[in-house]
Amino acid sequence: MKKTRFSEAQIIGILRQAEGGVPVPDLCREHGMSSA
C-alpha cells in the first residue's frame, strides 16, 4: 500500500478551506501540491 503524503485530517482541512472560498491555486501553493 502506498503511503500518502497528507493525513486524512489534513485533506479534510484543505477541502474545508476550499469550500470556504479560498482559491484552489492558493491552497495548492500553500500546501505544496499540484493543482491537478
| Of residues 2 and 30, more confidently modeled | 30
For residue 1, what pLDDT is reported?
61
Amino acid at 17: Q
CA distance 18 to 34: 15
- The pLDDT of 11-30, averaged and rounded, is 90
Model confidence, pTM: 0.69
- Mean pLDDT over the full length of the chain: 86
Residue 30 has pLDDT above 80, yes or no: yes
Residue listed under C-alpha cell 491555486: 25
Domain locations in the chain as residue ranges: 1-35
